[in-house]
Structure 1
Amino acid sequence: MADKPSIPKGTRDFTPLEMARRNFIFDTIRKIFTTYGYLPIETPAMENLSSLMGKYGEEGDKLLFRILNSGDFRSGIAREELVSAPAGKLGNMISGKGLRYDLTVPFARFVVQHRGEILFPFRRYQIQPVWRADRPQRGRYREFYQCDVDVIGSDSLLNEYELVCIMDDVFTALGMKTVIRVNNRRVLAGVVEVMGEADRMTEITVSIDKLEKVGMKGVMEELREKGVGAASLEKLQPLLTRKGSNRENLDFLKGYLEGSAAGKGGLEEMNRLLDYLEADPPQAEVEFDMTLARGLDYYTGTIFEVVSDEVKMGSICGGGRYDDLTGIFGLEGVSGVGISFGADRIYDVLEQLDRFPAQATMDTRVLFVNFGEREAMHVFPVLGRLRKEGIPSELYPDPVRMKKQMSYANARNIPFVALMGEEELREGVVTLKEMASGSQERLTPDALVRRLSVQ
């Protein structure tokens, strides 16, 4: 017997119902992106490894899906090297491309490559899948969609304010209660400087970023294993345990970071951002989180993370300011800021809360019963009119028993069934049955279009 077909771990198939719900998420996000004046782009699923490597930190590089060179990937490599070369070196010898890890680095490459064709500041959105060779678990997949929105070519803090508004508008439109966490990488740089570990910014912030997962004890233990001294850890501890309002925490850091120019600059940006938000408060709670690190090397200023206030799921949106991401591709001094919505985790939250609206699960609005070929010929013009009005409609393909056709409509959650049998054809009407109530009404084709246009 043939093996049962399967798909790789960390990937998924999507049923029509799931696709309808996913499209509800994508359409909601896309509508808000365009409302704010952002323009769509797409980039290839694969990028040259030279574009990807070194942009996500050591841990991120390990999660890149590499693509073997086409043809005989061993061509030109001595047998001894194939056998004895270290894994990292061998990987570079047999693979020159990889699946994109996120949409931000490909966006930076896009900006540099097309800089003569775009107008700065450039506002773009992008909704495409990304791939990470991560260990699959609840809410974490190897293939998943990101919905990114960025503005590049401007260092104004008003862009950060606008992104908070976009996050708030998206999650409000999706019916989700969220917490928007904000911090600043310059604040973190100041913290590391006060600790006396200024040259270890990346490895220390990678550990701090795990606070929610492993707790303070786990973070401190990991930093000890990295060789961070007891005196430095003692200076860090108050930040990991401190509670207070946004303004109270900013006031605390004002004294804590007194000796750090970078830290004070980050605090000034945080104060200004909170001033903007207090002028027109968002519906979501905005929390200044001193431990938020966003463990990607390219962030340089404000950073964001959004979590559900109702379901424990991890980050469902995140991003931040990157001052010179395009510099790695030869275009220096171009600042940008952006955020990325995790559509798959958003789906999981909405599903767990049973928060998808009815229209997100509905496809066909009316099913015409098939009485036979003669009657079907009269159905065609009515179907055509409904479809031209944007009303999803279909004719059951076979003239089988009425009960079977009705059961099909029920199983598909089709709200209306239309009948055009001999009697209806004589009178020039359509009998419309509402499946939920069982009520029936006779309508002319014009009245049928008007009736089904009402949601």
Structure 2
Amino acid sequence: MKPSIPKGTRDFGPIEMAKRNYIFNTIREVYALYGFQQIETPAMETLQTLMGKYGEEGDKLLFKVLNSGDFLSKSSDDELLERNALHLASKICEKGLRYDLTVPFARYVVMHREELQLPFKRYQIQPVWRADRPQKGRYREFYQCDADVVGSDSLLNEVELMKIVDTVFSRFGIRVQIKINNRKILTGIAEVIGAADKIVDITVAIDKLDKIGIDNVNQELREDGLTDEQIKKLQPIIMLSGTNEEKLQTISTVLKDSEIGMRGVEEIRTILAPLTSNGSALKNEIQLDLTLARGLNYYTGAIFEVKALDVQIGSITGGGRYDNLTGIFGMPGLSGVGISFGADRIYDVLNQLDLYPKDSVTTTQVLFINFGERETAYCLPIINKVRENGIRAEIYPDAAKMKKQMSYANAKLIPYVVLAGENEINAGKVTLKNMETGEQQLLTPEELIQTLV
């Protein structure tokens, strides 16, 4: 029988791993640049930690791990015959694979509260697992790249996170648009028109404005149960346009009687000011977008989403401010703000736009050709020196035909090969061949190092 891997999982070969490491290393470097520290949590958490944190749907998507040893010993025959999977799982499984990085982070903060210096700025780049139905772009095992600041209400944290997003995508060479909104503004809008339960319907309808036009948007709102009076009040919001400041002025007029709404407007102003002023302005555009309504039952302040401008793909980064991260574990009142980069989507964008730097996928820089024992003995000390200078080098292990060794170099995209036959040995030199141009140079070991460094 041919070996296989579970549905919804993937193998990554050397080229893919080189590309993925380029993504993770870039994100890691930028996180560190802004004072974030890395943590890791176990792949498995107790089900007590995971259950009930993601809603009923999320509970069903948790991969549960059977207890070690005789896991059926504590279950009666009646329970087994009942075939109640959920009840049985509670008896025979105590652990599960983590579903995201946020709940394990909340658990970590509560467990290590005494050792943590607040505000605590952590980043985490690890795989998560979901027992979802696999489909294009949706996997059962995938990586998340999260950064969060907990224990500080300051909006300077939001500003810094937007700078991180801007820096990461500038380094990747991906042009993006950063969209920002505030949960308090959305709450204010619902409050002013007296339709607190309709905020999701309102944002979904407004989001369709470009596609279906104002009349159809209004019709959709009517079908969602809004009165003509409420729809009339919403018109300035639906037709919102202009600069961020012009949008904020329009929103302020609509929300003048909503205390929470006006607080949201002020928060957005505070975040946008340093991101658009000289000296600290973002390289990418940041735009206030009222249709942004991610994680409404979770976020309490600013919410962000990042779209790539040159590729048709969903959001490639998202995040926001939440008020009660650790409340689920009985430690209330710890506010935080976080972002998460979608590594798999970024991978696809970099592939489509061919933006990987050449050296990010080059593993070996130079291959030494093997002509036999005497030549190998001559080359080994030179290879040592080359490696001591940080140049990635390898020697072909067998004295195989030249064509076979050259094919190996081409298959591995190795840019240079070194040849050392009798003439080179007598001269105390080597021949360096550029595999792209075919150009050859006779060099001393020192000159070889200078050329390759």
Note if contact 2:201-2:221 (Cα within 8 Å) is conserved in structure 1: no
- The C-alpha deviation readout for 1:339-373, integer Å capped at 9, x for no partner, is 11111110011111111111122110000000112
What residue is the counterpart of 2:248 in the other structure?
Answer: 250
Q: Structure 1 residues 55, 235: CA separation in 2 closer, same or farther (over 3 Å shift)?
A: farther
Q: How many residues align?
A: 446
Secondary structure of the residue that 1:306 maps to in structure 2? strand
- The C-alpha deviation readout for 1:68-107, integer Å capped at 9, x for no partner, is 3334444433444445476554544443322222212211
Aligned AA (1:242):
M
What residue is the counterpart of 1:446 in the other structure?
Answer: 446
Q: Structure 1 residues 207, 452: CA separation in 2 closer, same or farther (over 3 Å shift)?
A: farther
1:4-403 to 2 correspondences below 5 Å: 4-84=2-82, 88-198=86-196, 200=197, 205=200, 208=203, 229-231=225-227, 234=231, 238=235, 241-245=238-242, 246-279=244-277, 280-295=280-295, 297-403=297-403
CA distance in 1, matches of 2:118, 2:412: 48
CA distance in 2, matches of 1:93, 1:207: 44
CA distance in 1, matches of 2:70, 2:205: 41
Q: Structure 1 residues 387, 193: CA separation in 2 closer, same or farther (over 3 Å shift)?
A: same
Q: Structure 1 residues 57, 207: CA separation in 2 closer, same or farther (over 3 Å shift)?
A: farther
Identity level (%): 56
Secondary structure of the residue that 1:315 maps to in structure 2? coil
Aligned AA (1:151):
V
Q: Structure 1 residues 323, 172: CA separation in 2 closer, same or farther (over 3 Å shift)?
A: same
CA distance in 2, matches of 1:308, 1:235: 34
What displacement does 1:63 show?
Answer: 3.1
CA distance in 1, matches of 2:148, 2:204: 23
Secondary structure of the residue that 1:230 maps to in structure 2? coil
Note if contact 1:298-1:325 (Cα within 8 Å) is conserved in structure 2: no
- The C-alpha deviation readout for 1:296-354, integer Å capped at 9, x for no partner, is 63321111111111112111111111221112223222211111111111001111111
CA distance in 2, matches of 1:89, 1:32: 45
What displacement does 1:431 show?
Answer: 0.7
What displacement does 1:21 show?
Answer: 0.8
CA distance in 1, matches of 2:217, 2:75: 43
Note if contact 1:56-1:296 (Cα within 8 Å) is conserved in structure 2: no
More displaced stretch, 94-103 vs 411-420: 94-103
More displaced stretch, 215-224 vs 315-324: 215-224
Aligned AA (1:440):
Q
What displacement does 1:149 show?
Answer: 1.3
More displaced stretch, 5-14 vs 62-71: 62-71
Note if contact 1:180-1:285 (Cα within 8 Å) is conserved in structure 2: yes
Note if contact 1:257-1:264 (Cα within 8 Å) is conserved in structure 2: yes
What displacement does 1:219 show?
Answer: 10
Note if contact 2:128-2:142 (Cα within 8 Å) is conserved in structure 1: yes
Q: TM-score under structure 1 normalisation?
A: 0.89
Note if contact 1:185-1:299 (Cα within 8 Å) is conserved in structure 2: yes
CA distance in 1, matches of 2:112, 2:429: 58
What residue is the counterpart of 1:431 in the other structure?
Answer: 431
Q: Structure 1 residues 220, 381: CA separation in 2 closer, same or farther (over 3 Å shift)?
A: farther
What residue is the counterpart of 2:418 in the other structure?
Answer: 418
More displaced stretch, 256-265 vs 326-335: 256-265
CA distance in 2, matches of 1:90, 1:195: 48
More displaced stretch, 133-142 vs 9-18: 133-142
What displacement does 1:137 show?
Answer: 3.1
Note if contact 1:301-1:322 (Cα within 8 Å) is conserved in structure 2: yes
Q: Structure 1 residues 450, 104: CA separation in 2 closer, same or farther (over 3 Å shift)?
A: same
Note if contact 1:42-1:128 (Cα within 8 Å) is conserved in structure 2: yes
- The C-alpha deviation readout for 1:26-45, integer Å capped at 9, x for no partner, is 11111111111111111111
CA distance in 2, matches of 1:290, 1:260: 16
CA distance in 1, matches of 2:83, 2:302: 41
Note if contact 2:236-2:250 (Cα within 8 Å) is conserved in structure 1: no
Aligned AA (1:27):
N
CA distance in 1, matches of 2:22, 2:340: 17
What displacement does 1:23 show?
Answer: 0.8
Aligned AA (1:54):
G
Note if contact 1:139-1:348 (Cα within 8 Å) is conserved in structure 2: no
Q: CA RMSD in A?
A: 3.0
- The C-alpha deviation readout for 1:258-291, integer Å capped at 9, x for no partner, is 3432222212101211122121321111111112
Aligned AA (2:225):
G
Q: TM-score under structure 2 normalisation?
A: 0.89
CA distance in 1, matches of 2:221, 2:385: 68
Note if contact 2:183-2:296 (Cα within 8 Å) is conserved in structure 1: no
Secondary structure of the residue that 1:98 maps to in structure 2? strand
CA distance in 1, matches of 2:386, 2:304: 45
